A and B are shown apart, each in its own frame.
Chain A
Amino acid sequence: MDEALVLSRLLHFTATFLLLGSCAFLWQMAPPELSGRLEAQLRSLLRLAVIVTAVTAVAWLMLVAGSMGEGWEDTVRVATLREVLLETRFGNVWLVRLGLIATLIATVALGEGYRSRDVAVASGLVVASLGLVGHAAMDAGLPAVLRGINHAVHLLSAGLWVGGLVPLALVLGEGRAAKADGVVATTLRRFSGMGHVAVAVVIATGAINTWLILGGWSINIGSIYQRLLVAKILLVIAMIVLAIINRYAFLPRLKRNSCAIQRLYRSTLIEIFLGLMVIGLVSYFATLEPV
């Protein structure tokens, strides 16, 4: 059951980050002549992400019911599910989240097409509401609220960054064939502007979160949680190094050097891969005891 929960978390984080980052990219970063084409390319992937978000949210709830209760039989017992939803803190948060996910489904299911802005806002709420469960938001009172907000902001900025890399890779992949034009350069500049802020916020909120959960900066290497947290931080540092190389080594050469876009494309794909590894790690170790 623990493995199933880790898998649900991994798929849920991945799908919601993809929705948030991609739609924010389409809404805010891609110029109109590019966003229409990108939107069409991403449409089926984003619809799939909405389905995965909904299915994994329900699976996550059922698995928590099983772990709070007596195992697998409680994952499908209606009475237990009702008790979890109505009488536990996790369940109360999850009721709100299921409502937000219903809103997200409505933004893509109603009407012919959908507006990136609506999907970005709805998936942003779905991601932020994850900040209300877990180690960071344990207990009651003002400190817990502030911790929850910090965690929510951490998840939002991570989602904007990592999710936005997917449409970015699409733009770069297309740009390789054609000669890089002004539209691509504009998009890259805008993404990099947002990226600077997102990365800074990821670091700040991640540091605060670590401080709150571990009660300081000293790492106990005997703890699996803390070892994997260190691994996650190292992966994020690798992603940041790649992002800095992309921004300050390759991007300025885009106009003069046709190799630059090829390199940008490849290093963006590596960054996406590292991002998936980070999500995979945290999906596992955040279910463990931090000590």
Chain B
Amino acid sequence: MIRGASGRPLWIAASGLLLLVNAGGAALAHAKLVSSSPAANQTVTPPPTSLTLKFSESIEVRFAQVTLSDASGTAVKTGAVTQDPDDRAMLIVPLAAPLAAGQYTVSWQIVAADGHKTKGTYHFISEK
């Protein structure tokens, strides 16, 4: 235990640092998909013109892969994956052409800023 005047600045600095960097909440996990548009299992009308995927952490967009496939499993052409300039945890995938009605599967694979790779899939239904 540090006592006296000489120890005080150290404790103030230490508790200040703790307050400043206090993260609280849950343990750091690898990046997860937080939300998306269209949302998982959502039925959307009219058909979407782009997909957005919001993750729990910043993403290395250069190593992000998002593929869209229709109910028969055929890949649907999409534009290049880009990152929201204001939010490094948000990916935007423009669609080359309006989607036909039907069920679609989105498969994503991303590398978070900490270098870890995660992947997942979700579905949505497009209606005219």
Contacts and interface: CB of A to CB of B under 8 A. Distances in A.
Contacts of A133: 114-115
- State the majority secondary structure of interface residues on B: loop
Interface stretch (B27-35, B39-47, B68-76, B100-108): B27-35
Contacts, number: 89
Quick one: which of B20, B29, B115 has the most chain A CB within 10 A?
A: B115
A133 B14 CA distance: 23
- State the majority secondary structure of interface residues on A: helix
Contacts of A135: 28, 114
Interface residues of A, number: 35
B14 A134 contact: no
Given A135-B28, A214-B27, A215-B27, A150 B60 contact: no
A138 B112 contact: yes
Interface residues of B, number: 27
A142 B25 CA distance: 18
Given A143-B20, A146-B20, A147-B21, A68 B27 contact: no
Given A143-B20, A143-B21, A289-B116, A83 B62 contact: yes
A140 interface: yes
Quick one: which of B18, B23, B27 has the most chain A CB within 10 A?
A: B27
Nearest to B30: A289
13 contacts: A89-B58, A90-B60, A142-B20, A143-B21, A204-B14, A211-B22, A211-B23, A215-B23, A289-B116, A290-B27, A290-B29, A291-B27, A291-B28
Interface of B: 14, 17-18, 20-30, 57-58, 60, 62-63, 88, 111-117
